[in-house]
Amino acid sequence: MLSTVFFGLGLACTLQPSGRTATFLRVRFACTDDEVLRAERRLLLYQVHPGIDPARAGNICVLLQSRLSLSDLELKKVVLRHPAVLNYSYEATIVPSLAALQSRLSLSEPELKKVVLKLPSVLGYSYETNIAPSLAALQSRLSLSELELKKVVLGLPAVLGCSYEANIAPSLAALQSRLSLSEPELKKVVLKLPSVLSCSYEANIAPSLAALQSRLSLSEPELKKVVLRLPAVLSCSYEANIAPSLAALQSRLPLSEPELKRVVLRSPCGAQLQLRGQHRAVAGGAAVAALAERAGAEEDGAGAPFGAQLQL
10-residue averages of pLDDT along the chain (312 residues): 40 51 94 93 71 91 98 98 93 95 98 98 93 96 98 96 93 97 98 93 94 96 92 89 88 90 68 36 34 36 35 33
pTM: 0.78
Q: Is residue 65 part of a domain?
A: yes
pLDDT of residue 164: 94
Q: Is residue 61 part of a domain?
A: yes
Alpha-carbon torsion (225, 242, 194, 276), positive or negative: positive
pLDDT of residue 62: 98
Task: Give the amino acid at 257.
Answer: E
pLDDT of residue 266: 83
Integer Cα distance of 39 and 194 in angstroms:
29
Where is 30: in which H helix or E strand?
none
pLDDT of residue 51: 72
CA distances (Å), 129 to each of 19, 43, 78, 163, 194, in order?
34, 22, 23, 11, 23
CA distances (Å), 107 to each of 18, 38, 101, 304, in order?
37, 31, 8, 31
Q: Is residue 282 part of a domain?
A: no
pLDDT of residue 45: 78
Integer Cα distance of 141 and 130 in angstroms:
17
Q: Provide the domain limits for residue 74.
A: 1-87
pLDDT of residue 52: 84
Between strands 11-15 and 4-8, the pairing is antiparallel
Integer Cα distance of 291 and 289 in angstroms:
5
Q: Is residue 149 part of a domain?
A: no
pLDDT of residue 15: 45
pLDDT of residue 249: 85
Indicate the number of domains in the chain.
1
pLDDT of residue 248: 87
pLDDT of residue 267: 64
Q: Is residue 244 part of a domain?
A: no
Q: Is the peptide bond before 157 cis (omega within 30 degrees of 0)?
A: no
pLDDT of residue 3: 42
Compute CA 276 distance to the chain's CA centroid, rounded to the nearest angstrom. 12
Where is 115: in which H helix or E strand?
helix 109-118
Burial code (b: 16+ CB inside 10 Å, e: under 16) for 196-235 equals bbbbebeebbeebbeebeebbebeeebbbbbbbbbbbbbb
